A and B are shown apart, each in its own frame.
Chain A
Amino acid sequence: MARVVVNLPQQARRGEIMEIRTLAGHDMETGFRRTQLGQLIARDIITRFACTYNGVEVFRAELHPAMAANPLITFTTVATESGTLEFRWTGDNGFSATHSAQISVV
């Protein structure tokens, strides 16, 4: 399980726009580099990221090799109701990481 960091407010006012910052620990090997012997190093990246808010998808992204290592993704969502935000990263070689965070909306 890869290390992931998600930064979002624990509490928000209803209707407030929250900024969510996510970071997943991953080398994001591009598949364009070679070893000293000239062998191409196989691509190994995170290809998808999705965020669901109480089961409803609010943000999704497809990542390509041009994302920097340890991909940082910052996006926003409207605080509609108290509940759980689930974050999921999936990628090459069966990579998968999840994180969930509680939010209380007042």
Chain B
Amino acid sequence: MTSRRQFLVLACGALATGAEAQLPPNIAALRQAALQEAVRKVVGDVPVQRGKVKLELPPLIENGNSVPLSVAVDSPMTAADHVKAIHVFAEKNPQPNVISAQLGPRAGRARIATRARIADTGTVVAIAQMSDGSFWSDSVSVVVTLSACLEDGLI
């Protein structure tokens, strides 16, 4: 038995994904290109590997204006082997960057948490830069029912 609340959440989720399907393909491609450009600015030509990073945020976001997220990186955080920076990007935002945090061995543990605005249903990416120069990433797909940032159909 579906409660009224569950039905509303599901219906809103379906609407959100439906709206995404109606986007002109070139704008979706523009967003994708903007994300790749923002990532390239951070990593340069170094390949980004998957793993080590754990990005956590709710899979269903009812209010995109304030989305709690945390990034934890598997690292001993010693002077020889530590995380230098953690970057977070949201694919569908008009500007993909969310936060760039610089940390070092004095952090003790490579974990940050914050609250972000997420404009629309899409992926959120976290990239960690290690002291040896390698980059590791994690991405999460999220469904946003009430979007943030935009009030004029900029998507």
Residues of A near any B CB (own CB < 8 A): 17, 30, 32-34, 53, 56, 58-69, 71-78, 80
Offer 14 A-B interface pairs, CB within 8 angstroms, sorted by A: A32-B150, A61-B102, A64-B100, A66-B117, A66-B149, A68-B65, A68-B116, A68-B148, A71-B114, A72-B115, A73-B112, A75-B107, A76-B107, A77-B106
In the complex, the answer to whether A58 meets B99 with C-beta atoms within 8 Å is no
Task: Evaluate whether A58 and B95 lie within 8 angstroms (CB atoms) in the complex, with A34-B152, A65-B149, A68-B117 already known.
Answer: no
Contacts of A78 in B (CB 8 A): 106-108
Cα–Cα distance between A30 and B106 once the two chains are bound (Å) = 32
Is the beta-carbon distance between A66 and B107 smaller than 8 angstroms? Answer: no
The answer, yes or no, to whether B111 is at the interface (CB within 8 Å) is yes
Residue in B closest to A43 when the chains form the complex, CB atoms? B95
- B118-148 vs A, CB cutoff 8 Å, 1 = contact: the mask equals 1000000000000000000000000000001
Binding site for A on B (CB under 8 A): 65-67, 70, 90, 93-104, 106-109, 111-118, 148-152, 154
Q: Tell me the minimal C-beta distance from A5 to chain B in angstroms.
A: 14
Report A-chain residues with C-beta under 8 Å of the C-beta of B116. Answer: 66-68
Q: Say yes or no: A75 contacts B106, CB within 8 Å.
A: no
Nearest CB in chain A to that of B89: its residue? A66
Q: Which residues of A contact B109 (CB under 8 A)?
A: 17, 76
Known: A59-B101, A67-B98. A34 touches B108 (CB 8 A): no
Contact of A72 among B100, B104, B107, B114 (CB under 8 A): B114
> Could you tell me the distance in whole angstroms from the C-beta of B39 to the nearest C-beta in chain A?
14
Q: Which of B67, B108, B113, B149 contacts A30 (CB 8 A)?
A: B149
Specify which of B93, B104, B114 is in contact with A74 (CB 8 Å cutoff).
Answer: B114
**Which residues of chain B are within 8 angstroms of A67 by Cβ–Cβ distance?**
98-99, 114-117
Whole-angstrom CA separation of A96 from B152 in the bound complex:
30
Chain A residues with Cβ below 8 Å from B94 are 32
Say whether B103 contacts A75, CB under 8 Å.
yes
A69 to B66, CA, bound (A): 8
A64 in contact with B99 given A58-B107, A80-B106 (CB within 8 Å): yes
Name the residue on A nearest B68 (C-beta).
A72
B67: A residues at CB distance < 8 A: 68
Select the residue from B112, B114, B116 with max chain A CB neighbours within 10 A: B114
